[in-house]
């Protein structure tokens, strides 16, 4: 007889914007990863999961109410749920950050899903075990290398040794000041291209090493953004639309904005945020986290906090 009582679990992981990085590939996916630095931001992915034993089992994934597919999330389900063929599993995910632009959404999606499965099925796994599944899912499906490690710890983070949880080494970089992150998703760009195309990989690793060495000498928010701008300018994947948005940020008084994959982003001092926002979008946009406004021309402007705490592990 099938049980009617549903299994319910919830998980959250922040978004992550990589400032600069180096690619490290291994035949063992848990040893694959990246080194470099990035910043975790609020507005990441929250997953609410419901599972029932069912005669018609399967996995259904929805994002902001719309059905979607994700081989990375499917990998998480098949590797965490014992006998998944017995269950009808629905995962509802919510995020203000769009996928495939450079916000680390695939990592946050797989990590928050893994946490929700752990809770729903009462698996009792430690965070390091749950995050390892999400990391391997990213590596195997070529949707990311270092986002899960970063999103697990939060804040302005430094990945000093490649690999997933228990193998790689990452830490938060302390900083003074009260900052917000502003960003604009401009164009989609698949991670798979960036981490597999030989020409790009070689350039990324050369420029990433230079940026990391320079950042280690002065681990400040300002130097993080400076090295990020130099890195992504050197990688050379920014198109004319992205360069145009970079100029709009600079014209609004933003110091040293950068562009990661398909987004433009910047760290802005909280005291200057209202002035910057007014110059970029005019009146009527809030300066609190999760504010979204439309810039002239139709592009979005997203205001986020630096998410200092990483994943929600004990609170839900």
| Span of 20-34, 189-203, 252-266 with lowest mean pLDDT | 189-203
C-alpha–C-alpha distance, residues 217 and 300, integer Å = 35
Query: Distances in Å between the alpha carbon of 192 and those of 109, 122, 139?
Result: 17, 33, 10
Smallest CA-to-CA distance from 252 within 268, 275, 229 is with 275
pLDDT number for residue 247: 97
- Phi first, then psi: what are they for 223, rounded to 5°? -70, -35
| Mean pLDDT across 288-315 | 85
Is residue 17 predicted with pLDDT exceeding 90? Answer: yes
Q: Tell me if 312 is assigned to some domain.
A: no
One domain for residues 147 and 223: no
pLDDT-derived band at 283 (thresholds 50, 70, 90) equals confident
| Cβ count near 124 (within 10 Å) | 8
Is residue 25 predicted with pLDDT exceeding 60? Answer: yes
pLDDT number for residue 83: 93
One domain for residues 224 and 156: no
CB contact burial 206-231 (16+ within 10 A = b; e otherwise)? ebbeebbeebeeeeebebbbbbbbbb
Is residue 316 predicted with pLDDT exceeding 60? Answer: no
Report the Cα–Cα distance between both ends of the chain, in Å, rounded.
31
| Mean pLDDT across 137-157 | 97
Is residue 315 predicted with pLDDT exceeding 90? Answer: no
Domain boundary among 172, 202, 219: 172
Task: Look up the CATH number of the domain holding residue 50.
Answer: 3.30.230.10
C-alpha–C-alpha distance, residues 125 and 162, integer Å = 23
| Mean pLDDT across 294-299 | 92
One domain for residues 161 and 197: no
One domain for residues 24 and 151: yes
Whole-prediction pTM = 0.95
Q: Which two tokens stand for residue 189?
A: 């760009």
Decide if 300 contacts 294 (C-beta within 8 A).
yes
pLDDT-derived band at 291 (thresholds 50, 70, 90) equals confident
CB contact burial 190-201 (16+ within 10 A = b; e otherwise)? ebeebbeeeebe
One domain for residues 219 and 281: yes
pLDDT number for residue 313: 82
Q: Tell me if 62 is assigned to some domain.
A: yes
pLDDT in tens, 97-125: 999 999 999 999 999 999 999 999 999 99
Name every residue whose Cβ is closer than 8 Å to that of residue 100 and which is 6 or more positions away in sequence. 188, 189, 190, 262
pLDDT in tens, 36-75: 999 999 999 999 999 999 999 999 999 999 999 999 999 9
Domain boundary among 137, 172, 207: 172
pLDDT-derived band at 312 (thresholds 50, 70, 90) equals confident
Task: Look up the CATH number of the domain holding residue 246.
Answer: 3.30.70
pLDDT number for residue 39: 98
pLDDT number for residue 1: 41
One domain for residues 100 and 215: no
What average pLDDT is seen over the chain? Answer: 94
Which range of residues forms the domain containing residue 284?
A: 179-305
Q: Tell me if 144 is assigned to some domain.
A: yes
Q: Tell me if 311 is assigned to some domain.
A: no
- 258 in helix, strand or coil? strand
Is residue 248 predicted with pLDDT exceeding 50? Answer: yes
One domain for residues 45 and 22: yes
C-alpha–C-alpha distance, residues 63 and 269, integer Å = 32
One domain for residues 153 and 205: no
């Amino acid at each position: 007889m099938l049980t009617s009582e549903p299994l319910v679990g919830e998980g959250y992981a922040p978004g992550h914007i990589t400032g600069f990085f180096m690619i490290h590939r291994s035949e063992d996916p848990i040893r694959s990863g990246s080194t470099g630095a990035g910043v975790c931001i609020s507005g990441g992915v929250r997953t609410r999961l419901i599972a029932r034993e069912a005669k018609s089992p399967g996995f259904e994934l929805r994002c902001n109410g719309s059905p979607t597919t994700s081989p990375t999330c499917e990998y998480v389900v098949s590797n965490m749920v014992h006998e998944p063929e017995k269950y009808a599993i629905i995962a509802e995910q919510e995020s203000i950050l769009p996928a495939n632009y450079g916000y680390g959404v695939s990592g946050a999606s797989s990590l928050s899903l893994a946490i929700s499965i752990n809770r729903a099925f009462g698996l009792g796994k430690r965070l390091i075990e749950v995050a390892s599944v999400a990391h391997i899912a990213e590596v195997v499906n070529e949707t990311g290398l270092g986002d899960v490690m970063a999103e697990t710890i939060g804040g302005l983070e430094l990945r000093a040794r490649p690999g997933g949880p228990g193998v790689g080494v990452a830490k938060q970089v302390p900083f003074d000041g009260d900052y917000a992150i502003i960003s604009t998703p401009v164009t989609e760009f698949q991670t798979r291209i960036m981490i597999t195309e030989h020409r790009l990989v070689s350039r990324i690793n050369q420029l990433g090493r230079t940026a990391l060495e320079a950042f280690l000498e002065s681990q400040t928010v300002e130097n993080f953004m400076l090295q990020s701008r130099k890195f992504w300018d050197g990688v050379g994947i920014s198109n004319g639309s992205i360069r145009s948005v970079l100029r709009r940020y600079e014209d609004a008084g933003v110091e040293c904005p950068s562009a990661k994959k398909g987004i433009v982003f910047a760290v802005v001092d909280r005291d200057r945020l209202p002035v910057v926002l007014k110059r970029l979008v005019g009146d009527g946009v809030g300066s609190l986290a999760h504010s979204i406004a439309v810039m002239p021309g139709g592009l979005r402007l997203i205001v986020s906090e630096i998410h200092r705490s990483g994943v929600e592990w004990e609170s839900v």
